[in-house]
Amino acid sequence: MVRLSEKTRVAKQLDIAFDDPLPRFWFDEREIAEEAITKPPGDNLLQQQAKFEDFIHEYNYERPHQALDMKCPGDLYRPSERPYRGLPEVEYPLHERTITVTQCGRICVGTKKINLSQVFAGQNVGIKEEEDNIWLVSFMQYDIGYFDLEACRVEPVENPFGPKVLTMSPV
């Protein structure tokens, strides 16, 4: 579920692109909330973003940190020599189709639009027909639920992320 948690983390940053070369892990979230956001908050989103960027610069380049022997994180940071290439595309070789979920959380099958969830927006899911007009939707190795082309919504399986326990066969 790294794909979804990363998407959620990025969304929490208000879809703001940062030009600062330092990674986000150099500061504590409580300090951001206390200093950059609430004392006092900006009048609009742009002013708030400017306050946030000023705080990050101060935190990384001007404030010495006790845990870093009174050095600033910017003095110690070195970018990785390994480039980040992102996560590989998810493939569904055992499914009939791979479909990208729309931004509004739907999968489109022919002319039908099936409501899945905005949580999966932009992600690939696999679908395969289990019975006549009953389709299984999967995300990565998890079976999410079933849909038919008439209802146009996914009925979730009991707990797709719970442990998979196989029943014992009778002897």
- The model's pLDDT over 99-139, given as tens digits with 9 standing for 90+, comes to 999 999 999 998 999 999 999 999 999 999 998 889 999 99
pLDDT in tens, 19-44: 444 444 445 556 655 665 667 777 88
User: How far apart are alpha carbons 109 and 125 in whole angstroms?
Assistant: 12
- Flag whether pLDDT at 18 surpasses 80: no
Residues 6+ apart with CB under 8 A from 150: 133
Give residue 88's pLDDT: 86
pLDDT of residue 139: 94
Mean pLDDT of the chain: 79
Residue percentage of the chain with pLDDT more than 70: 71
pLDDT of residue 86: 86
Neighbours of 57 (CB within 10 A): 13
User: Taking a C-beta distance cutoff of 8 angstroms, is the pair 95, 128 a contact?
Assistant: yes
pLDDT in tens, 41-61: 778 889 888 888 888 888 889
Range 105-113, long-range pairs (CB < 8 A, 24+ positions): 107/137, 109/135, 109/149, 110/149, 112/149, 112/152, 113/152
Pull the structure tokens for residue 123: 């992600």
Q: Higher confidence at residue 155 or residue 32?
A: 155
Kindly tell me if the per-residue pLDDT of 12 is higher than 70: no
Position with higher pLDDT, 69 vs 17: 69
Measured CA to CA, the distance from residue 37 to residue 30 in angstroms comes to 10
Percentage of the chain exceeding pLDDT 90: 38
Cβ atoms of 125 and 137 within 8 Å: the answer is yes
Whether the per-residue pLDDT at 161 is higher than 90: the answer is no
Q: What is residue 2's predicted lDDT score, i.e. its pLDDT?
A: 55
Contact 150, 127 (CB under 8 A): no
